[in-house]
Amino acid sequence: MKNKNQLQTDRRRFIQAAGAASALGSVAIPHVFAEEGERNTIQVALVGCGGRGTGAAADALHVSTAPLKLVAMADVFDHRLDSSLSALRQTFFETPEQIAVPEDQQFVGFDAYKKAMDVLRPNDIVLLATPLVFRWVHYDYAIQRGLNVFMEKPLIADGPTAKRMLELAKKADEKNLKTGVGLMVRHCRGRQELHQRIQDGEIGDIINMRAYRMHGPVGSCFSTRKPDDQQELMWQIARFHSFIWASGGLFSDFYIHQIDETSWMKNSWPVKAHALGGRHYRGDYIDQNFDSYAVEYTFDDGSKLFLDGRTMLGCRNNMSSVVHGSKGSAIVSTAGHTPGKVRTFGGQRQHRKDVTWAYPQPEQNPYQLEWDDLVDAILHNKPYNEVPRGVQASLVTSMGRMAAHTGQEITYEQMLNCPVEFAPNAANFTPEGPAPVMPDDQGKYPVPMPGINKEIEYILTT
C-alpha cells in the first residue's frame, strides 16, 4: 500500500523521534506539559479513520484543559483517511491550527500506524480506532514509542490476544503511560453517581439485571458476496463487523457496552454464560453473524444478567439496561448510550410515581468526558490504565458470544484460556492476503453451528 510522501520532507524529525523511542525503551516517560508555547501542546495521531475514529478525534480536540492538535493520520484505505480529514477540517474550521496534518503526515498501508506514531513526541497521544484485530499490534508499538493511548473498544475477541493485551498493559504501567478505553459510559457522571448509590445499598442486593440491544442492521454487520474486483483481505477489513476474526462480530462490537455497564453496577464480572442465537431471513447475506442472541450470564453469587440482542428490520427497538435489587430497581441506560437519564425506584415496576432519585438533566456527553479524564491524568500524572478492565469486558462479551455460537456453557476461565486465535498473523498482513477466513466456492463464509461445532465458533476453510 502507498503512503503520502512518507515524511520525506521531515526526515530529520523522524530520525530524532526514532532515536528518542530507542533511548526511552526501558524508562518511565517524563511529563513535559508544564512548559510554555508549542511544547505545551499535546499532539495527537489518529490510527483508523472510520466514523468512530473521526468522532473520537473530534472529542480529543474539544478538550478544554490543554491545547491538543491532530498532526498525523493513518489508515489502510486512502479514501477513509481523506473523508475523515475533510470532516475534521469542517468541524474545526474556526480553529484550523488544530488540524495540522500536511500531506506528508497522512499515511496509508498496513505499516502506516508506525509512521503516524513516529511523528509524535514521547508522551503525546495516539488514538487507536481500527478493527480490534490490530489493537495489540498497535498498542505494542505505541508503548515502544512512549506514547499515551486512547483505544476504542472492544479490545480482543479471543483468549490469546487477551493475555497479550494484559501483558502490554503491564509494560505501559512500567513506563508511566496513560491509556483510555472507549467504554465511555464509565465516565458518565450520572452513571457514576448511580453506581455509588447502588454500592451504598439504595436498591438493596442486586438480584438480576436486564440489558437489550435491539435495532436494525448497523455498521458493516451484514454483507452480501464480495465483488470480484476487490481483494479478499481488504474487503473483509472494510466489512469488519461481518467477520468474527476482525471485530468479534456484531455481538462483541455492539453488545459490549450493555454488558460492561451492568457488570459495573454489580461491581463484578460474570463467571459463566449460556446462550442461544440464530440466523433468520438472511437471503444473500454471507457474513458470520447471527441476527438474534439471548444470553444468561451468571455471577459468582448466583445472580443473573439477561442480555437480549436482535438485529432485524421491522421489529420493536430497545437499547436499555435495568438493574433489579431486593429493595428497588434502577435504570442504567434509558434508550441508547447518552443521555442515560439514570434513576432509581422504590419498587420493580419502574413507574414514574415510584422514582426515588434521578440524575439532573441535561447531562454532559460521556464521549467528551472520557477524553477530559484521560488528558487530566496526563497533565497531573495520575495512574490511568483502563486496558485491564477493557480486556475483562471484552472477554465477558466474547464468553457470551462463544456460548451462543457453540451451544455450550462457557466460563470466564475457558474463554481466557481458549487456545484459538482468530488472526494469529495480524502483525504481518499484506493487501494480497490471505485473509484469516476464506469463502467457499459459493462465496459464503463459515458460520457458527451450535451443537455441531462445540469447541470452536466456526470451522476454518482454506
**Residues 273 and 408 placed together within one structural domain of the fold:** yes
DSSP 8-state code for residue 408:
S
Query: Which of these, 178, 77, 88, 75, lies nearest to 129 by C-alpha position?
Result: 75
Contacts of 249 (CB under 8 A, 6+ apart): 221, 241, 242, 243, 288, 289, 401
The answer to whether residue 460 sits within a structural domain is: no
Same domain for 299 and 173 = no
Residues 171 and 125 in one domain: yes
Domains contained in the chain, number: 2
d(CA 45, CA 154): 20
Give the neighbor-by-neighbor strand order of the sheet with 272-278: 355-358, 343-345, 329-333, 318-325, 206-215, 304-311, 292-298, 272-278, 410-411
Asked if residue 402 and residue 421 are part of one domain, the reply reads: yes
Q: The cell 428497588 sits on which residue? A: 328
Which residues have a Cβ under 8 Å from the Cβ of 220 and sit 6 or more positions away?
238, 239, 240, 241, 242
pLDDT at 433: 86
Q: Which residues, listed in sequence order, are joined to residue 278 by a DSSP beta bridge?
A: 292
- Which residues on neighbouring strands pair with residue 310, listed in sequence order? 214, 292
Domain containing residue 317 = 189-364+395-428
Instruction: Judge whether 454 lies within some domain.
Output: no
CB 253 within 8 A of CB 241: yes
Q: Are residues 17 and 163 in the same domain?
A: yes
Q: Say if residue 166 is in the same domain as residue 248.
A: no
Within a domain: 448: no
- 224: CATH: 3.30.360.10
Any domain includes 442: no
pTM: 0.91
Q: Indicate the residue type of 435.
A: A
Is the Cα torsion angle 195, 199, 204, 206 positive or negative in sign?
positive
Is there a domain that residue 433 lies in? no
Specify if 293 maps to a domain: yes
Place of cell 467457499: 440
Q: What does the pLDDT look like over 177-218, one tens digit per residue?
A: 999 999 999 999 999 999 999 999 999 999 999 999 999 999
The pLDDT, as a whole number, for residue 3 is 45
Rounded-to-integer distance, Cα 439 and Cα 447, Å:
11
pLDDT at 226: 97
181 and 193 part of one domain = no
376 lies in the same domain as 337: no
- Report pLDDT digits (tens) over 58-86: 999 999 999 999 999 999 999 999 999 99
The partner residues of 277 in beta bridges, in order of sequence, read 293
Shared domain check, 302 and 244: yes
CA angle 50/56/61 to nearest 5° reads 125
Cell reading at 393:
469486558
Q: Show the beta-strand stretches assigned E in 109-169.
A: 125-128, 148-151
Domain boundary among 351, 385, 419: 385
Q: And the C-alpha cell for 405?
A: 455460537
C-alpha distance across the termini of the chain, in Å: 25
| Domain end residue (candidates: 385, 414, 448) | 385
- pLDDT of amino acid 8: 37
Instruction: Indicate if 155 and 252 belong to the same structural domain.
Output: no
Does some domain include residue 436? no
Same domain, 180 and 217: no
Q: What CA–CA distance (Å, rounded) separates 297 from 320?
A: 17
* Omega within 30 of 0 (cis) for the link into 362: yes
Interstrand relation of 42-47 and 125-128 (parallel, antiparallel or unpaired): parallel
**Number of other CB atoms surrounding residue 72 within 10 Å:** 27
Confidence (pLDDT) at 38? 62
Q: Which residues pair with 345 in a beta bridge?
A: 329, 355
DSSP 208-253: EEEEEEEES--TT-S--PPPTTS-HHHHHHHTGGG-HHHHSHHHHH
Distance from C-alpha of 329 to C-alpha of 345, rounded to nearest angstrom: 5
Strands (E), 38-190: 42-47, 68-75, 106-108, 125-128, 148-151, 179-181
Residue 316 DSSP class = -
Residue 9 sits in a domain whose CATH number is 3.40.50.720
> What are 409-417's contacts with CB under 8 Å, separation 24+?
409/272, 409/273, 409/274, 410/272, 410/273, 410/274, 411/271, 411/272, 412/269, 412/270, 412/271, 412/272, 415/159, 415/162, 416/159, 416/162, 416/163, 417/159
Q: Are residues 301 and 378 part of one domain?
A: no
Q: Collect the ranges in the chain with pLDDT lower than 50.
A: 1-32, 34-36, 462
Provide CB contacts within 8 A for 171, sequence distance 6+: 143
- Quick check: is 390 in a domain? no
